[in-house]
C-alpha cells in the first residue's frame, strides 16, 4: 500500500513542469497536495529551451536561485536562418526588458524536471514516483479522486476535493472524456538527436536557440546548445512529409540535414551521442480546461507546435493559474467547473496568439523582412517570442502581417 497521509485536498497526476508547478504553489498556500508520477526521476524528456516569461512563475516557485546556480546554459536570444541560409539579426530579449527576466536557460529536462519536483517536496508536496494513475474516479459529473497502481501492481483509490491532470501528452482525462480537438493545420512530427562538440556561437549568443529553415520551407531544424558541450538538434515538418513513404527515422534525419546546409555545417566534425528520437502527436487542445472537481494543465490541456519553445511556459502558466483558482475555490467551498477554470478564456487567447505566429511561419513569414517593413513592431515580435502573450496590443502585429501579405500579393501580380 502506498502511504497516503491525511486525506489530500488535491491530487496531481504527473510530475513534469505543469504538475510540479501547481503542486508547489498549492502547498505554498497551505493546501494538502499529493502528486503521483509514473516514472522515477530523473527521466528523459524533450523540450529544452525555456523562454523568458517563465521567469515570473519560476520566481514564485523559488526556483530562480537554483537555476542561477545550475550549469544550464544562459539564453539571451533567438535567431532565424532562412532556407537560403540568410540569418536574421538575433532577437535579444533584453532589447525589450532590461531586467533579470530577459535572460533564460537552455535546460536538460531530466535535470530541470527533477529540480522542480524536489523543489515541490521542499515546499511540502508529498510526491510518489513510480506510481501510475490508472483512472480518474467520478461520482456523476464530479471527479472525486484517482485510482493508482504501484510498481508491484497493487491498486488503490485516493479521494480528494480536486483532481489536477498534468499527465502531459498521455492526457488521461482528455482521452477518457473524449475532449481532444486536433489541429489539422498543424499536423506535424519531429525527429531529433544530440551531438557533442558541435559548433556554437561565442559570448551572449552561445545559448541562442537557432531556428533553421529546410530547403523549400519543407520544415525547420531547432538547434539548442546545452551544457557539457551537447547540442539538441531536431527537424519538424508535416507529418506526411516526414513519415510517409520514406525510410527509417535515421535516414530521414540525414536527408533533411542535407536539405539544410546551415544546420549540417553546425554539426560537422561533432559526434552523435544518443539514438534518434521521433514524435508524431502534434498540436491539439481540450474542449474544456475544467469540470466539477477537475482541471487540466500543461500538455494535458493542450499542446502547441514547438517552433517558439512555448511548451514549458504554458505548462508553468497554466499550473500557476490553476493553483490560484483552486486555492480560492477551496476557501469558498466551491470546486465547480466555473471556479476551477475561470482563467481559461484569457489563457486560450494568449495561446492562440502563439499559435497564429506559428501558422504565419509555416505560411512563409520572414522575421527579418517583417521588422524591416514594420520597425515599430520589433518590440511586439520580441514580446511574442519571450512569451508575453497576454496583452491585446499584440493583435496589431497580426494586422500588419496581413497588410504585408496583401502588399506582396499585389507586387507579385
> What residues line the site for ligand FAD (CB under 6 A)?
13-19, 36-39, 45-49, 132-133, 166-170, 172, 190, 234, 279, 298-300, 306, 309, 311-313, 315
Q: What sign does the CA torsion over 239, 81, 88, 406 have?
A: negative
Reported in sequence order, the residue ranges of 239-339 that DSSP labels E, i.e. its strands, are 271-272, 277-279, 284-286, 290-291, 294-296, 302-303
Q: Which is nearer to ligand FAD, 252 or 401 (CB)?
A: 252
Q: Which is nearer to ligand FAD, 36 or 194 (CB)?
A: 36
CA-to-CA separations, 154 to 38, 128, 136, 147, in angstroms, rounded: 14, 14, 16, 10
DSSP 390-413: --GGGHHHHHHHHHHHHHHHHHH-
Q: Which is nearer to ligand FAD, 3 or 399 (CB)?
A: 3
In whole angstroms, the minimum distance from the beta carbon of 334 to ligand FAD comes to 25
Separation between Cα atoms, residue 57 and residue 8, nearest integer Å: 24
C-alpha 355: how far from its chain's center? 13
Q: Which is nearer to ligand FAD, 237 or 329 (CB)?
A: 237
State the DSSP code for 49: B
C-alpha 162: how far from its chain's center? 24
Q: Which is nearer to ligand FAD, 164 or 401 (CB)?
A: 164
Q: Which is nearer to ligand FAD, 36 or 377 (CB)?
A: 36
Separation between Cα atoms, residue 348 and residue 337, nearest integer Å: 16
Separation between Cα atoms, residue 401 and residue 356, nearest integer Å: 11
Separation between Cα atoms, residue 145 and residue 148, nearest integer Å: 10
In whole angstroms, the minimum distance from the beta carbon of 15 to ligand FAD comes to 5
294-296 and 162-165: which strand pairing?
Answer: parallel
Q: Which is nearer to ligand FAD, 112 or 367 (CB)?
A: 112
In whole angstroms, the minimum distance from the beta carbon of 72 to ligand FAD comes to 13
In whole angstroms, the minimum distance from the beta carbon of 192 to ligand FAD comes to 6
Q: Do 382 and 91 touch, CB atoms closer than 8 A?
A: yes
In whole angstroms, the minimum distance from the beta carbon of 159 to ligand FAD comes to 17
Buried residues in 191-230 as b, exposed as e (16+ CB within 10 A): bbbbbeebebeeeebebbbbbbbbeeebbbbbbbbbeeeb
Q: Which is nearer to ligand FAD, 19 or 237 (CB)?
A: 19
Separation between Cα atoms, residue 202 and residue 172, nearest integer Å: 43
Q: Which is nearer to ligand FAD, 38 or 126 (CB)?
A: 38
Cell of 380: 511586439
In whole angstroms, the minimum distance from the beta carbon of 135 to ligand FAD comes to 9
Separation between Cα atoms, residue 204 and residue 49, nearest integer Å: 15
Amino acid at each position: 500500500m502506498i502511504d497516503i497521509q491525511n486525506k489530500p485536498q488535491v491530487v496531481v497526476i504527473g510530475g513534469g513542469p505543469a504538475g510540479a508547478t501547481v503542486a508547489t504553489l498549492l502547498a505554498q498556500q497551505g493546501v494538502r497536495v499529493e502528486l503521483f508520477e509514473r516514472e522515477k526521476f530523473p527521466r528523459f524528456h524533450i523540450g529544452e529551451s525555456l523562454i523568458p516569461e517563465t521567469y515570473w512563475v519560476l520566481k514564485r516557485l523559488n526556483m530562480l536561485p537554483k537555476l542561477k546556480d545550475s550549469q544550464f546554459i544562459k539564453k539571451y536570444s533567438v535567431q532565424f536562418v532562412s532556407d537560403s541560409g540568410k540569418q536574421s539579426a538575433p532577437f535579444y530579449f533584453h532589447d525589450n526588458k532590461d531586467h533579470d527576466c530577459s535572460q533564460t536557460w537552455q535546460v536538460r529536462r531530466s535535470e530541470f524536471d527533477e529540480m522542480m519536483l524536489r523543489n515541490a517536496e521542499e515546499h511540502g508536496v508529498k510526491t510518489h514516483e513510480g506510481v501510475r494513475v490508472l483512472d480518474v474516479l467520478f461520482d456523476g459529473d464530479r471527479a472525486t479522486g484517482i485510482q493508482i497502481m504501484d510498481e508491484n501492481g497493487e491498486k488503490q483509490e485516493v479521494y480528494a476535493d480536486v483532481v489536477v491532470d498534468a499527465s502531459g501528452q498521455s492526457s488521461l482525462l482528455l482521452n477518457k472524456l473524449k475532449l481532444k480537438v486536433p489541429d489539422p493545420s498543424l499536423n506535424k512530427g519531429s525527429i531529433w538527436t544530440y551531438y557533442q562538440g558541435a559548433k556554437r556561437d561565442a559570448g551572449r549568443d552561445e545559448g541562442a536557440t537557432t531556428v533553421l529553415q529546410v530547403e523549400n520551407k519543407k520544415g525547420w531544424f531547432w538547434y539548442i546548445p546545452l551544457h557539457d558541450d551537447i547540442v539538441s538538434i531536431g527537424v519538424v515538418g508535416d507529418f506526411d512529409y516526414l513519415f510517409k513513404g520514406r525510410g527509417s527515422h535515421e535516414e530521414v534525419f540525414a536527408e533533411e540535414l542535407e536539405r539544410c546546409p546551415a544546420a549540417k555545417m553546425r554539426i560537422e566534425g561533432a559526434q552523435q551521442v544518443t539514438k534518434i528520437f521521433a514524435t508524431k502527436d502534434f498540436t491539439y487542445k481540450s474542449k474544456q480546461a475544467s469540470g466539477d472537481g477537475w482541471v487540466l494543465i500543461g500538455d494535458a490541456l493542450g499542446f502547441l507546435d514547438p517552433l517558439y519553445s512555448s511548451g514549458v511556459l504554458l505548462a508553468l502558466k497554466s499550473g500557476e493559474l490553476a493553483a490560484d483558482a483552486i486555492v480560492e475555490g477551496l476557501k469558498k467551498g466551491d470546486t465547480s467547473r466555473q471556479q476551477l477554470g475561470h482563467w481559461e478564456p484569457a489563457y486560450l487567447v494568449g495561446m492562440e496568439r502563439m499559435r497564429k505566429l506559428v501558422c504565419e511561419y509555416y505560411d512563409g513569414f520572414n522575421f527579418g523582412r517583417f521588422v524591416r517593413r514594420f520597425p515599430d513592431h520589433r518590440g511586439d515580435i520580441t514580446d511574442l517570442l519571450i512569451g508575453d502573450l497576454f496583452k491585446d496590443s499584440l493583435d496589431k502585429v497580426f494586422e500588419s502581417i496581413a497588410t504585408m501579405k496583401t502588399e506582396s500579393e499585389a507586387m507579385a501580380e
